[in-house]
Amino acid sequence: MKGKKGNKKQWGKKKGRGKGAGNRLIDEQLRNSSSIWNKSIDFVPARNLQLATGYKSSKESIQKTDSGVEVAVLGRDKDGFKRPKRLAMEKSLVLRWKKAMPVGAGLVNLGNTCFANSVLQCLTYTPALASLCQASYYHKNHNPRPGFDAMAQLEIHISRALSHSKKVIAPKSIMAKLRMVNKGFRPMQQQDAHEFFICYLDAIHTACTSNLGNCSYQERSRAPSLVSAIFGGHLMSQTECQTCHHKSNTFDAFVDISLEIRGINKLYDALSHYTRREKLSVNNSFKCESCKNKVQIHKRISIHSLPRVLCFQLKRFSFSHAFGSKLKHKVKYLPVLNMHAFLSANLKQQVRKEDCVYDLYAVLVHSGFSLACGHYFCYVKSANNLWYLMNDSQVSFTKPHIAMDQSAYMLFYTRRHAPAPAALPASGQNEKEMKKKMEEIEKRKKMKEQQQQQQQ
């Protein structure tokens, strides 16, 4: 997403179960209605990335793209979600540090670049991403992108930062190309750390998919990349007619989730508020495509595909006036987070609670009165399992309870275990075929019994 003020609502283009556009009537009316404040879909995916890591379908095959990259092709699940292609290498991604290492380098502030420094440090201590960078995965598997290659530069930066303990390095190669990350970024100007995070992931995805050759923007945006492998998940938006109880599903990709915190003091409560069931129409203004009546509808957002790395933005900034304002209160967050309660209903039945556990590894903080002024720094959990304050060039050991007691702006969690649930039904069509076969077997069995009775 480009642009500094606020988060734009984005509606995914993936369709749920049903045939044709008729099954999307309620959602289409929602999108066209200016009177509905859609606070539930309030996350910020990197442009139109169609990202997923999620769970295996009962049908999976490995294919090679024109550039030789292996991808896994997945089928639909019972909610009608067609899982996108993903990189075959995702199965070997590590979610924990392979070995203990000392904390890495501090970063020189090159002129109001604390917003970028804090994000780069959070990315550096993302175990799944750091392990790939240390192994030079991108350099070995991709041709350099002409001009600014965001992933190539990040791979060099992370490897350099982790190998220069007790030193300070200057991320000049990235800061010199800020306008390539976002045209609105200017040298020596303060920017939003969350916006930099989203835009840089977008630039990484562009670099990772640059080898696809001649293809449409839509095809490129849906292609698998390191961003989808590590940060990508999906939300399911389900609307339900209150007259005939017909349900319609749509799906949206995300790389992080933005949570309302006004009047909320706990991360768990913010997630409950985000995924709550809500009434959207009071005056029967939406037409149900099933019963053909104008009805009241209820809507609920749930997580349909969990990412390997889960990022939250706590919405502290408001733009109600020229200089904006900030919510300064602390929102309690824990070192361990279980996301099972926020999954879609069908996915809850397929996934064990212990497979939904996340561990906190980075906390990004903004100090100041508004987005237009202030300072960014972060706390990270290093490969030696210790917490450190990363404040530009300053790197200092800190105790865990201090990292847990901040007015956090962004939170970074890594999944404890790799996804390994039971296989999901391939599609509703396959279920119908299976049911039909079972009926045929029962019919043949009855006919055989009748023949035996007649012979007797």
pLDDT digits (tens, 9 = 90+) for 320-339: 666 678 999 999 999 999 99
Query: What pLDDT does 51 receive?
Result: 31
Ranges assigned E (strand) in 141-242: 168-169, 233-241
Length of the chain, in residues:
456
Structure tokens, 360? 């906190």
* Cα separation, 93 vs 434, whole angstroms: 35
* Cα separation, 256 vs 312, whole angstroms: 6
Query: What pLDDT does 35 receive?
Result: 35
Q: What are phi and psi of 140, to 5 degrees?
A: -80, -25
Query: What pLDDT does 441 receive?
Result: 65
Give every residue of the chain whose pLDDT is below 50, as ranges: 1-63, 65-67, 71-73, 420-431
Q: How many CA atoms lie within 13 A of 159 on its CB side?
A: 14
Query: What pLDDT does 431 receive?
Result: 46
Q: What are phi and psi of 313, to 5 degrees?
A: -110, 125
Query: pLDDT (tens digit, 9 = 90+) per residue, 405-446?
Result: 999 999 999 999 876 433 333 334 444 555 565 667 667 767
Q: What are phi and psi of 284, to 5 degrees?
A: 50, 50
One-letter identity of residue 26: I
Q: Which of 114, 199, 208, 241 is catalytic?
A: 114
Q: Which of 273, 298, 340, 375 is catalytic?
A: 375
Query: What pLDDT does 425 receive?
Result: 38
* Cα separation, 302 vs 122, whole angstroms: 26
How would you classify the pairing of strands 309-315 and 257-260?
Answer: parallel
Residues 6+ apart with CB under 8 A from 72: 60, 61, 62, 63, 85, 86, 87, 88, 90
Query: What pLDDT does 430 receive?
Result: 45
Query: What pLDDT does 188 receive?
Result: 87
In terms of Cα–Cα distance, which of 240, 289, 261, 202 is closest to 10? 202
Concerning whether 114 is annotated as a catalytic residue, the answer is yes
Q: Alpha-carbon dihedral of residues 3, 318, 124, 93, nearest 10 degrees?
A: -80
* Cα separation, 45 vs 52, whole angstroms: 12
